[in-house]
Structure 1
Amino acid sequence: MRTPLALAAAAALALGLAGCGEDATAGHDAVAIGGQFEFVSPGGQTVIEYPPAERAPVGEVYGPDLRDESEEIRLADFAGQIVVLNAWGQWCAPCRAESDDLQRVHEWMRGEGIGTVLGINVRDDVITAPRDFMADNGLSYPSIYDPPFINAAALGGIPASVIPTTVILDRRHRPAAVLLKGVDDRELTELVRKIAAEEP
C-alpha cells in the first residue's frame, strides 16, 4: 500500500508549485483504503470532484487555534456541517489573493446554517505573521496553526507542497472536492451548493 507520504510526493511531482495558476478540470481520483479517504495523484488536474458513492471519511484533523494557541480546534467541532478546509500561508501570494473570497464564502455558509470555512495555516514558523494577516484583513473564519502541515496525512496525503489547497468536506466529513489551486467565491459557492443539495 502506498503511504500518504509517497502519495503526497507523487502528487507534488505531477503538479509542482504551479498548480495554483492552472485551469481547472474535473475528475475522479481517490481510493478508500480501510474505509478512509486516501488521495491519489490526479495526473495534472487541479479540481477533483468525488460523487457520494466514491467518498470516504478523512482522519482526525486538529491543532492549535491560530488566534489563541491555548485553545484547540478539531474538525469534529463541526459535526454535521459542510466544511471548506483551506491550507494556506501568509507568505503565499495566491493564498492572500483568495482570502477575501474565502471570507465571503464563510459568511454565506454561516448565514445559511450549512457550515464553515476552516483554515489550516502552514509553513508560517512565526505565528504572529499569519495572526496579524487575518486580523488586518478582517478574516473571521477559524484557522488551525500547523506549520509542518501534519494534518496532510489525516487528509489522505494531499500534496503538502501545493499551497493553497482547498478540500470541501460533505456533512459526513468526506472529501467531495479537492482544489489544488487558488479559488474564488463563485466557484466555491457553486460547489458547496451542490453538496448542500445532496441527500443527508
Structure 2
Amino acid sequence: MVGGAALVSCSEENTAGTNAVASGGSFEFVSPGGQTSIHYKSEERKKVADFAGTDLSGDGEISLTDFDGQVVVLNAWGQWCGPCRSESDDLQRVQEKLEKHGGGTVLGINVRDNVKEKPQDFVKDNGITYPSIYDPPFKTALALGGVPASVIPTTIVLDKQHRPAHIFLKEVTDKELWEQVEPLLNEDE
C-alpha cells in the first residue's frame, strides 16, 4: 500500500495533472495525487519498452514480445510480501479466465527474492500456473516507464499493443482486475 507519499515520475516535460505522458512516444508513469488505481483511456496509452528476463521456473528467458497481440497482466510480487501472497489466488483465477478466453496471460515479475528457490516453492505450493520473470533488483521497472520499484505489489494491465490500460499500486482482487482486463480482450489491436 502507498502511504502519504506522492508517487511522481520526473522528466524534462511538465507532467503535473496528467496520467500518461508521451516522451519520445513511450509510456512514462505518473501517479496524480498519489492514486493507487489509475485508468488510462485508449487515446492516452503509450507503449512500454520491451523487456526480458530469466524464467523463474527454469533457466529459459521470457520476453514481453512472447505475448504479442495479447492482453498481459504484469504483476510485480515477492514471496516475502503479505499482500502479494494474499492476491496470488486472485491472479490465478484471472489467469484461468484468460486461458479460457485465449487472449492473454498474467506475467509475474518476482522481485527482492535473492534466493530463487523460495519463490519457486511458493509458486509450486500455491498452484500458480502463470509464468514469472525472476528479477530480484526489479530492473524491469525502468522498461515500464518508471513504475515505482518500491511499491509491491504492483499490477499493470497492458492492452494488446502492450500499452498500460490500468495500474494498481495495491493488492488487487480478481473481480476488480477482471473488470479492467475483460474489455481489453475485445479491443482491436
Q: Same fold (TM over 0.5)?
A: yes
Q: Displacement, 1:14?
A: 1.4
Contact 1:12–1:162, Cα closer than 8 Å, also in 2: no
Match of 1:141 in 2: 130
Q: 1:143-181: per-residue Cα shift (whole Å, max 9, x none)? A: 000000000000000010000000000000000011000
SS in 2 for 1:138: coil
Q: C-alpha displacement at 1:12, in angstroms?
A: 9.3
Q: Give the number of aligned pairs.
A: 178
The offset of 1:75, in angstroms, is 0.5
Q: TM-score, normalised by structure 1?
A: 0.85
Select the residue among 13, 33, 38 that pairs with 1:48. Answer: 38
2:177 is the alignment partner of 1:188: yes
Residues 83 and 28 of structure 1: CA distance in aligned 2, closer, same or farther (over 3 Å): farther
Matched, 1:84 2:73: yes
Greater strand percent: which structure?
A: 1
Q: CA deviation at 1:44?
A: 1.7
CA distance in 2, matches of 1:139, 1:64: 17
Letter in 1 for 2:174: D
Gaps of 5+ in 1: 1-10, 16-26
Q: Is the 8 A contact 2:18 2:30 kept in 1?
A: no
Provide runs of 4+ in structure 1 moved above 3 Å: none
- Whether 1:29 aligns to 2:19 is yes
> How high is the sequence identity, in percent, across the aligned residues?
62
8 A Cα contact 1:85 1:119, kept in partner: yes
| TM-score of the aligned structures, taking structure 2 as reference length | 0.90
Matches within 5 A, 1:36-185: 36-68=26-58, 70-185=59-174
Match of residue 14, structure 1, among 6, 16, 41: 6
Return the alpha-carbon distance in structure 2 between the equivalents of residues 42 and 89 of structure 1.
26
Structure 2: gaps spanning 5 or more residues: 8-16
Query: Aligned partner of 1:71: which letter?
Result: G
Q: Deviations for 1:34-77, whole angstroms, at most 9, x for unmatched residues?
A: 01101013322111111111111101221000010x20000000
- Aligned CA-pair RMSD: 1.6
Aligned-partner SS, 2:93: helix
Q: Tell me if the contact between 1:28 and 1:48 (Cα under 8 Å) persists in the aligned partners.
A: no
Q: How far is 1:28 from its partner?
A: 5.9
- Give the Å deviation of 1:196: 1.8
Pair 1:130–1:109, CA change in 2 (3 A):
same
**Larger helix share, 1 or 2:** 1
The answer to whether the Cα contact below 8 Å between 2:31 and 2:38 also exists between their aligned partners in 1 is no
